[in-house]
Amino acid sequence: MKILESKNVIEEGDPVLIRFDDEVTYLIEVNSSRKFGIHRGQPIELKDLIGKSYGDSLDFGRAKAILLEPTLEDFIMKARRESGIIYPKDAAMILMKLGIRSGSRVIEIGTGSGALTLALAAQVAPEGKVYTYDRREDFIELAKGNLKKAKLLSYVEFNQRAGHEPFHETEVDAIVSDVPEPWNEVELIKASLKNGRRIAALNPTYNQIEKMAEALEKSGFAMIEAMEVLVRGILARPGKTRPEQRMVSHTEFLLFAVKPAF
């Protein structure tokens, strides 16, 4: 059963990334009763997209566009948000370092807007599950909307939770924390994580990763490792290739640790 099978022909309800030739992109959902007001020229009748295929081009006269099936990266970057962004570069490294894969059971502490939840859900599908916790009901609703658009809602269980409450699950394969004070969660993380498995914490300041590293070490976690991931764009053009002149130079520090058997 290939639940996530990709497809070429666009149907009612499908997500489409419309990318104009000036690099502006829009993520829309095909709804035959709606129009979409683009940034240049006439609105698009969304019903006109039905029957087209991903990869097809549209010609609006002055503007041209290509229709794409959104990737996980697109859903992350286009997620509606009221909290900080998670960058695909960081999400990708977390999936790699935690060894999350199809079938994994993962706890996420701090749902926020659900951007990282998207990455976790896409990775554990179709048989695994993400158990995500947030103290704010409005964030959970926002995240549900973002997961629904990406058709990943069924791989996630949402939980509202006050700080210090234990997680419902035990023996999970990985835990990701995206909260400002992760050190308060260390003992609960230890109670729910499978022996030999990893926890990741994302935080923007060195003060936070320092405090979290100390808390993890005191609690007996092993292989504590912190890093930052940087992506620099390269303009590859005949005879004049060079790095891009500006880049995002900081998002989050990433901290990883392994839970040994106690």
Number of residues that bind its own copies (CB under 8 A): 91
Binding its own copies (rule: CB under 8 A), the pick from 18, 30, 91, 140 is: 91
Binding its own copies (rule: CB under 8 A), the pick from 31, 56, 144, 188 is: 56
- Closest Cα to residue 123, out of 159, 97, 158, 145? 97
- Closest Cα to residue 119, out of 98, 96, 95? 95
Residues 114-153 touching its own copies, rule: CB under 8 A, are: 122-123, 125-128
59 contacts its own copies (rule: CB under 8 A)? no
191 contacts its own copies (rule: CB under 8 A)? no
Question: What are the phi and psi torsion angles at 194 (to 5°)?
Answer: -65, 145
Give the span between the Cα atoms of 26 and 74, in whole angstroms: 10
Amino acid at 252: E
Handedness of CA 145, 147, 150, 153 (dihedral sign): negative
Residue 95 has what DSSP assignment?
H
Q: Which is nearer to its own copies, 154 or 160 (CB)?
A: 154
Q: Which is nearer to its own copies, 162 or 261 (CB)?
A: 261
Binding segment for its own copies (CB under 8 A), chosen from 37-45, 130-138, 158-166, 246-254, is 246-254
Residues 96-115 touching its own copies, rule: CB under 8 A, are: 96-99, 101-104
Amino acid at 204: P
Binding its own copies (rule: CB under 8 A), the pick from 5, 33, 61, 138 is: 5
33 contacts its own copies (rule: CB under 8 A)? no
Give the span between the Cα atoms of 164 and 2, in whole angstroms: 38
The answer to whether 35 and 45 have CB atoms below 8 angstroms apart is yes
Binding segment for its own copies (CB under 8 A), chosen from 27-35, 140-148, 181-189, 236-244, is 236-244
Give the span between the Cα atoms of 210 and 118, in whole angstroms: 27
Binding its own copies (rule: CB under 8 A), the pick from 42, 53, 154, 170 is: 53
Q: How far is the CB of 170 from its own copies (least distance, A)?
A: 12
Binding its own copies (rule: CB under 8 A), the pick from 51, 163, 166, 243 is: 243
CA distances from 204 to 47, 93, 102, 251 (A): 43, 16, 29, 6
202 contacts its own copies (rule: CB under 8 A)? no
